[in-house]
Amino acid sequence: MNELKETIDNAPVRAFLVCADTGEYDAERSMQELKQLAETAGVDTVAQVIQKRPSYDSATCIGSGRLAELAEEAKAQDIELIIFDSELTANQTKNIEAVTDIRVIDRTTLILDIFAQRALTAEGRLQVEMAQQKYRLSHLAGKGVAMSRLGGGIGTRGPGETKLETDRRHIRSRITALGEQLAELEGRRGLRRSRRKKDNILTAAIVGYTNAGKSTLLNALTDSDVYAEDKLFATLDITSRQITLPDGRNLMLTDTVGFISRLPHNLVEAFKSTLEEAANADIIINVTDISCDDAKEQTRVTSQLLSELGCDGIPQIMVLNKCDKLTNTDDIPLDSKTVMISAKSRTGFDELLKCISDNLPAAGRRGFFLIPYEKTGIINTILIDGKVYTSEYLPEGTLIDAFVDNKIYHLVEPYRH
């Protein structure tokens, strides 16, 4: 799905944003988000219109009369692209383009194009192409005579097969091939998860609405340089970094793809293996841009998607980011699972790390233990599922500072120092 990318290479493209407001969602807020998406893709938003309707028009989405007016407005302002906030059918797209003589895309196409530009890893690119191919298949429709001609390519089409049928077959074949490649990569990811569990490595998934500051937080906590930008979907690929918590435990932080309202179903499916990092984490760090006007709605969208991914039983903390943009924070309620920070100015991190420590499942306990020399084998047992931070040889035995797994704690409890 490269139609937008091809257009914006010599950008900026002049675009018209259109929304049919049926009361299904907050049209004003959604249009603000669509404008941000368009800007992220490199599009110059010249004008926008919200058309109130009881329901979507099956032929033109906004109705033939309003479409005729839109066509005149677009031509008067030299519009090159029309972007609809709702998902269009193939028939609607064809009808709108016939009236306006301007290229037409919908919200899903725009998001897919952004994803195609932002995916850097092999897995990310495969996931994006999978979503694109599934979208193409669901929106493939006859385009007059050209799509209904019988095929004549030797070795490429069956007897009497139309071009439409051929295109469907090629897309399905590509989807199958992509699925096999993604399954192989997911198998490797599963092995890495198993290894982390075996090595007793605790994991935390950083989730949240796109542009909430997840990558900035990861960079600040780990002194790394993960790409971060003030744009929607600045990063798509998984990044993991390790930190040490105040209680001495090591934690692997994993940044995940950002959420967005009405995230296309195909994208959720395509990125499921990536998003499952949250479902397999020991704790979820839910980052919200507290300075945003619709922070509550963004939190609701994130919570809904986490629930769909099966994350309900995983401990979760709420991180209210970008508090430096607020003039008054006194009225914001905080509790044992909610902290307020600024990832950019690196404030509130002590409270954040303590909150993570307090809410992580207690896999073991840390303490000082004086192990008699005749019981030295216990130290080796600790090292299998725990960690020894320091050791000192005393006349009575070995004094160790260690994190001991709960299942063997009874072995060391008598020697607590």
Give per-residue pLDDT as tens, 112-157. 888 777 776 777 788 788 888 888 887 776 444 444 444 444 444 4
The pLDDT value given to residue 152? 46
Q: Which residues of the chain have pLDDT under 70?
A: 1-11, 120, 141-162, 189-190, 192-200, 225-238, 264-277
* Host H or E run for residue 241: strand 239-244
What whole-number distance in Å separates Cα of residue 371 and Cα of residue 416? 9
* The predicted structure's pLDDT at residue 146: 41
pLDDT value at residue 80: 93
Contact 386, 363 (CB under 8 A): no
Q: Is there a cis peptide before residue 414, judged by omega within 30 degrees of 0? A: no
- For residue 273, the model assigns a pLDDT of 59
pLDDT score at 233 = 57
Tell me which residue of 191, 204, 276 sits closest to 241, measured CA to CA.
204
pLDDT at 149: 44
- Give the pLDDT confidence score for residue 145 in this predicted structure: 40
Kindly report the pTM of this predicted structure.
0.66
Q: What is the pLDDT of residue 143?
A: 47
Residue 271 confidence (pLDDT): 63
- CA distance linking residue 302 with residue 30, whole number of Å: 16
Q: What is the pLDDT of residue 101?
A: 94
Domains, the chain, in order of start with CATH, read: 3-114 (3.40.50.11060), 119-183 (no CATH), 201-359 (3.40.50.300), 364-415 (3.30.70)
Strands of the 283-289 sheet, one edge to the other = 239-244, 250-255, 202-208, 283-289, 316-321, 338-340
User: Could you give the 3-state DSSP secondary structure of residue 149?
Assistant: coil
What pLDDT was estimated at residue 210? 79
Fill in the DSSP letter of residue 55: S
DSSP H helical ranges for 199-333: 214-222, 265-270, 272-279, 295-308
Q: Exposed/middle/buried for 319, CB within 10 Å: 0-12, 13-18, 19+?
A: buried
CB atoms within 10 A of CB 28: 11
Residue-level pLDDT at 352: 94
